[in-house]
Amino acid sequence: MPNIGDFPFDPSDEPPVSWSGPTLILKGEHSKYINRKNIPVAEKFFPNMQLQVLDAGHWVHAEQPLETVRLVHDFLSKID
């Protein structure tokens, strides 16, 4: 479990660590986990990220299951 919550990278790492492929990030509007301070950091690691904000707290998949599935489906259907 500790490895799942760990993110051992720093935006100043040389060479920079990033994923340039399509990335979907779902954020709960009422959650403070993804916020104005760390969204720019996420954009450095995932330059082609798409941020979607749902009317939910941290557990978007539990609070907005149909909308979560729709957003993931739409995102995946656009990837070659």
Position with higher pLDDT, 80 vs 65: 65
3-state helix, strand, coil in the chain (%, to 5): 35, 15, 50
Mean pLDDT of 31-39: 92
- pLDDT for position 1: 67
Whole-prediction pTM: 0.82
Cα–Cα distance between 57 and 33 in angstroms, integer?
Answer: 9
| Residue-range definition of the domain harbouring residue 47 | 2-77
Say which residue the tokens 């656009």 belong to.
Answer: 78
Number of structural domains, the chain?
A: 1
- Residues forming beta bridges with residue 27, ordered by sequence position: 53
State the pLDDT at residue 11.
75
pLDDT given at position 25: 96
CATH number where 36 lies: 3.40.50.1820
